[in-house]
Amino acid sequence: MPTLFGLLVLALFVALLAGLAVRYAHAFLASDEPAPGARLLVVEGWLGARQLDRVIEAYRQGHYEKVITSGGPAEPRVGCLMPASYAELARDYLLAQGVEGVEAVPAPASAQDRTFLSAVMVREWLRGQAPRYRVFDIYSGGPHARRTRMVYGMAFGGTNGIGMLSAPPEDYEASRWWRTSAGTKAVLGETISLLWTACCFFPPAPGSHEEKWGNYRVETTP
């Protein structure tokens, strides 16, 4: 059995590890790791306007020559018979701000695995419309960024050539995320989701019916 001093040292060591985990968890999940030579930026369309403004800045600085927006159906809007997709909403915003040549790649409705389905749609669009872009960056929201990159790697057969950029959070301070309920919910939720994706999510075979199941489980009214 360890001595009292040994237990104290062990407790201090565990407390130090816990403190470091809390301090750097958000930075790990939401780090910027662009792919060398990337000229294409894939933007998750559900991001807010202030977060999309970073795309405008990067485009104007010449970092990217092509922008793609992704995402499934958005929430219905008053006066609209059919809601637009998040991909189309983000595209329209970026076009209105002067970003040229933005392409929307919508995904079908899906109750789960929406990021993976969006990644599959982007993969198929690139193969058919822009096969020369083999290296690209993904722009996602805060701590969701690392899991997004992991999921895209599953859809594309590996993360080589896939970089990631993280949008700054709008409702909490990233360096003090644990002080707000929004920050705590975001970081803990994405940590659990990242671990679950790494150990328990097995993507279907590329091109299979199961991979695009979102195309077939949308209920329609005759």
- Residue 5 belongs to a domain: no
The answer to whether residue 221 scores a pLDDT higher than 60 is: no
pLDDT number for residue 63:
86
Distance CA 127, CA 216 (A): 22
Q: What is the mean pLDDT of residues 30-52?
A: 94
At residue 122 the predicted structure's pLDDT band, cuts being 50, 70 and 90, is very high
Q: What is the pLDDT of residue 164?
A: 95
For range 125-149, the mean pLDDT? 94
Q: Are 147 and 113 in contact (CB under 8 A)?
A: no
Query: How high is the pLDDT of residue 202?
Result: 87
Domain, as residue range, for 91:
28-215
Mean pLDDT, the chain, whole residue set: 85
- Work out the average pLDDT over 20-36: 86
Q: What angle do CA 185, 137, 155 make, to 5 degrees?
A: 80
* 13 belongs to a structural domain: no
- Domain harbouring 73, CATH code: 3.40.50.620
Question: Do strands 40-44 and 136-141 pair parallel, antiparallel, or not at all (unpaired)?
Answer: parallel
Report yes or no on 179 lying in a domain.
yes
**pLDDT attached to residue 222:** 33
Check residue 213 and give its pLDDT.
60
pLDDT of residue 207: 77
User: Please, which residues bridge with residue 104 across strands?
Assistant: 69
Average pLDDT over residues 38-56: 93
Number of domains in the chain: 1
7 vs 94, residue with greater confidence: 94
- Asked whether 172 and 56 are in contact (CB, 8 A), the reply is no
Domain presence at residue 203: yes
Confirm whether 211 is domain-assigned. yes
Position 76 in a domain? yes
Task: Report which residue type is found at 92.
Answer: D
State residue 37's pLDDT score.
92
pLDDT of residue 79: 56
- The sign of the CA dihedral 174, 179, 180, 185 is positive
pLDDT at 114: 87
pTM exceeds 0.75: yes
158 in a structural domain: yes
* % of the chain at pLDDT higher than 90: 59
Specify if 3 maps to a domain.
no
Express each pLDDT in 157-208 by its tens digit. Answer: 999 999 999 998 888 998 889 889 999 999 999 999 999 999 998 888 887 7
pLDDT band at 20 (very low <50, low <70, confident <90, very high): low
Sign of the CA dihedral running 70, 75, 78, 82 = positive
pLDDT tens figures, 59-99? 888 889 999 999 998 876 555 555 589 999 999 999 999 99
pLDDT given at position 76: 66
